[in-house]
Structure 1
Amino acid sequence: MPIASRREVGQRIATIRRARRMTQVDLARAAYVSLAMIKGIERGARSPSDDTLDSISAALTVDPSRIVTGSTRTDSRVHAALPGISAAIAAYDIPVDTASRPLNELGEDIGRLVRWRLAAQYARIAEHAPRRLTESLVMLHHTSGTERLHAAHVLTTAVRSADAVAYKFGALDLSARLVDLMRWAADQTEDPIVQATVAYVRTETFFAARAHAQGLRALEQAIDACPGPIDTASTAARGALHMRAAVIAGRSGDADAATLHLDEARVLGDAVPEAPYDGTQFGPDSVRAHEISVAVSLGQEHLKRALDIADEWTPPDTLPAERQSGFWIELARAQVWAGRPDDAFESLKVARFIAPQHTREHPWAREAAATIRRLKRADAESLTSFAEWIGAV
C-alpha cells in the first residue's frame, strides 16, 4: 500500500474511532490487536493486513470497504474460505504422510480460534481454519497413547470453531459434516466432558432442520450420559446441556420441559463462576441470557416474560460478544412482537456494536430489521442504512 494510501486509511480509522467515542486503547482491545499496531496504522506508518483490517472494521462496526476502497466484505471473504474448510476435512479418516509440529504449539493456535469464536470474529476463523484443521488431523494420525487423546481434543476444538463459521453463514450441509467429524474426534478423546460439549454443539443440526422434539431427546440422552456435577468441569458441562435443552424445548412448544431444564441450568449455573468451559460459556449470566431466549422461543404468549427479564437485567460486558449480541437480537424480536419498533431498533444497534459479524448473519436480526423498516418506512435514514447493511432490503 503506498504511503499516501496508508495515511488515508489511518485517518479514516481514527475518524470513525472518534465518532464511536473510542480511544485507541478501546479499539485495540475490541479488535484483538496491539495498541502499537493501532497507533502505527492511524499515523500511516503501518499498513493493516486483511486480517487486521477485518478485526478493526468489526470493532468499529463498519464494512472494511468503508476504510479501504475496494476491500472485500466480511461475508464474501468467509464464503470464499468455505471450500477450503470443506477440502480440509474431505479425507479426515485417511492418514497422510506429512510432518506435524509440536502439539502444544498447535494447541495454542487452536486456542486463538476459540477466543475468536467467542468474540464473533468469524472472518479471522475462516482465514485460518483450513490450515488448522489439516494440521490437527495430521497430528491425530501421527500420535499415540495419551498424546493422541490430547490431539483428538485439539481436533474437536478446531472443528467446532470451523463449524461456527459454517453454521452462522448458512453453509448447513458443511456444518453437518463438521458436526459429524466433531463427534468422531470426541469419541477418540475418551473424555465424557468433551462428548457432552459436542452434544451441545450438535443441537445446531436439529435447529437447522426444525427437528426440535428430536433435538430435545438427543440432549436429554446426553444429559443422562454426562458425569454428575462432582466438580466445576462436570457441573458446567451438565448445566450447559440443560441450558441448551431449555431453548430447544421452547422451540418445540414444550413449556413444561423448557421450565424444567431452565430450572436445572439455573441451579448448576449458580454453582460455578461464569467462564468458558471447554469452549462453552456457562455460569449464572449465561443462564440469565438464555431465559429470554427460552421466553422468545415459546412465542408471543410468553412475550411479557422476555420483556420483564430485559427490564431487570442486561448482559455484562464480561460475557463473550457472541452471547451478548444474541441476547439483544432475541430482545429485538420480542420488542417487534410487542409493537415497540423503536426499542427493537435500539436493541439491534447494540447487537451490531457488540458483534457486527454475528448480527449481520443472524436471520432473526435480519427479519426484525425488515419488519421495523416496514413499520417505520418514512423514518430516519439510519434505519434504512441499517436495513441495507444487514441485507433486509
Structure 2
Amino acid sequence: MTEPTPTLGERVAFHRKRRGLSQVELGRLIGRSESWVSQVERNARKVDRMSVLAQVSDVLGVPVADLAPDAPMEVAASEREPWRDALRLALTGHPALSAVASTPPPDGGSGEDFAEQAEQVWTVVHGSRYSEAGPVLLPLIAGAELALRSVPEDQRPAVAAALSRAYQAAAALLGKVNDTEAAWLASDRALFTAEAAGDVALVAAGQFRLVLAMLGAGRLDQAQHAAATAVAALRPRLPELGVEAASVVGALCLVRAVSAARAGDRRSAWQAIGDAQELAATVGAGRNDFNTEFGPVNVALHEVSVAVDLGDAGDALDRAGRIDTSGLSAERRARFLVDVADAHAQRRARGDALAALLEAEQVAPEQIHDHSKVRTLIRDLLQDVHQRSDQELRSLAGRCGVPA
C-alpha cells in the first residue's frame, strides 16, 4: 500500500526537529508565534505566501521544494554572471602562496594607485553594475596581494588599506548576488588586511562587511553578537577615532536592527535604530565613509526595512513616504524600493508592489535580477490569479529567472 504523501505541516515539523529547534525557537527565528508554528504543523493554518514559505525553508536549511514540492522553482542565473565563478576562485586558497612564489614586477603599484582603483570599483558596485565590477576586482586583488609582499616596509600599510577596501568591495558584491559563503571569505580577508594596515576604523569597516555576510547567511544570532561586540568596543573611542569611525559604528547599529527585526525582536530592533539615529545626527548628511553611505537618510531607509521585517506594512509605507532618496546611490534606492514593494505585498496591494519592483529595476537592473527577495515577491504575485496574467509581471519574472 502506498504511503500517504507528507503534508506541508509534517515536513516543517520533521525538519524543525532535525535542526533541534522547538516551536518557540522556530517562531522566533521567522518572527512568528509558537501558536502560529503549531497551527502550521497541524495543518490548521495554510502557508499561502511564497515569501513566508521561503523564509521558513531558509531557517530550516532546506530548499523550498523539500517543504512544498509543488512550489515553482527559480531558474539558475549563473550563466548570466560569468565573473562570479572567477571571483570566487580568486578567493579560494590563500593568495599569499601565489604572491610569494611570483617574481614582483619592477613597479607593481603604490598604495595610492591601489586605493584609487578600489574607489573606482566601489563606484561601480554602488551603481549596481555588477558585471563591470567583478572583472575589475580580479586584477586589483591579485596586484595588491603581490605588492603587499614586495613594496618597502614603510609602504605596506597603505597597500594593505587599499587591499582591505578591495576585499570589502568583493564582499559587498558577492553578498548582493547571494553568494554568502564567498562574501564571508572576502570579509575575513578584508579584516586581516585592515589589521595589517593598522587602521582601527578600517578594521571596523571589515567587521561591518563580515556581519553583513552573517546576516545574508541567516545567522541572525551571530550577526547581532558580532555587531554588538564591535559597537561596544568602538563607541567609547569615537571622540579620538573621529567621524569616519562613527559612520561605521552607526552602520553596525543598523545591521543589529535588521538582525533583531528578522528574529522578531521588536524592542531590540527599534533600540538599535535609536542608537543609529544618535550617531547619524553626529555624522551628518552627504558622507559615504568606508562606503557605508551612513547618515540620517540611510537610517530612515533602515526604519522602513525594520518595519517591513516586523510585518508592520502600514508603518513602513508611512515612513517611506517621508524619505527623499534622490541623493543616494542606485544600489540603496533600488533596495529601498524592494522594501516598499514588500510592504505593498503584505497589504495585498499587488499592483503597487509590482510598480515598485519595476521602478527598482529601472534604477538598478542587475541588482533586481539577482535579488532573492525580489524573486520571492514575484513568486508571491504570481500566486494571485488576478495578477498572474499581467504581462509586465510575467516579463519581469522572466528577467529575474522565475518561471511564470
Query: SS of the counterpart of 1:282?
Result: coil
Aligned 8 A contact 1:242 1:261 in 2: yes
Partner of 1:240: 251
Give the fraction of aligned pairs with identical amino acids, expressed as a percent: 21
Matches within 5 A, 1:300-319: 300=311, 302-313=312-323, 315-319=324-328
Q: Which has the higher contact order (CA 8 A, sep 6+)?
A: 2
Residue 127 of structure 2, aligned match among 104, 119, 127 = 119
Residue 273 of structure 2, aligned match among 256, 262, 270 = 262
Shift of 1:172: 2.7
Give the aligned residue type for 2:81: V
Q: Distance in 1 between matches of 2:299 and 2:126?
A: 16
Partner of 1:61: none
Matches within 5 A, 1:90-105: 90-94=93-97, 95=100, 96-99=102-105, 100-105=108-113
Aligned 8 A contact 2:172 2:209 in 1: no
Give the aligned residue type for 2:276: A
Partner of 2:22: none
Partner of 1:371: 380
Once the two structures are superposed, residues 357-382 of structure 1 have per-residue CA deviations (whole angstroms, 9 ceiling, x without a partner) of 11111111111122113213454322
In the alignment, does 2:296 pair up with 1:284?
yes
In the alignment, does 2:393 pair up with 1:390?
no
- Cα distance, 1:241–1:170 mapped onto 2, change above 3 Å: closer
Shift of 1:173: 2.5
Partner of 2:368: 359
Aligned 8 A contact 1:159 1:181 in 2: yes
Matches within 5 A, 1:1-393: 76=79, 78-87=81-90, 90-94=93-97, 95=100, 96-99=102-105, 100-227=108-235, 228-230=237-239, 231-271=242-282, 272-298=284-310, 300=311, 302-313=312-323, 315-375=324-384, 376-393=386-403
Give the aligned residue type for 2:303: E
Aligned 8 A contact 2:254 2:272 in 1: yes
Aligned 8 A contact 1:186 1:194 in 2: yes
- Cα distance, 1:264–1:146 mapped onto 2, change above 3 Å: farther
Shift of 1:390: 1.3
Shift of 1:148: 1.2
Q: Distance in 2 between matches of 1:240 and 1:188?
A: 23
- Cα distance, 1:264–1:84 mapped onto 2, change above 3 Å: closer
Give the aligned residue type for 2:328: L
Q: Distance in 2 between matches of 1:85 and 1:217?
A: 27
Which piece of structure 1 moves more, 269-278 or 189-198? 269-278
Q: Distance in 1 between matches of 2:365 and 2:78?
A: 11
Once the two structures are superposed, residues 141-180 of structure 1 have per-residue CA deviations (whole angstroms, 9 ceiling, x without a partner) of 1234442111111011111222223222233322222122
Query: SS of the counterpart of 2:342?
Result: helix
Shift of 1:85: 4.5
4+ long deviations beyond 6 Å = none
Q: TM-score scaled by structure 1?
A: 0.76
Unaligned runs of at least 5 residues, structure 2:
1-76
- Cα distance, 1:252–1:322 mapped onto 2, change above 3 Å: same
Give the aligned residue type for 1:93: A
Q: Distance in 2 between matches of 1:312 and 1:90?
A: 47
Partner of 2:26: none
Q: Distance in 2 between matches of 1:336 and 1:97?
A: 57
Give the aligned residue type for 2:160: A
- Cα distance, 1:278–1:341 mapped onto 2, change above 3 Å: same
Q: TM-score scaled by structure 2?
A: 0.74
Partner of 2:46: none
Aligned 8 A contact 1:156 1:182 in 2: yes
Unaligned runs of at least 5 residues, structure 1:
1-73
Give the aligned residue type for 2:96: D
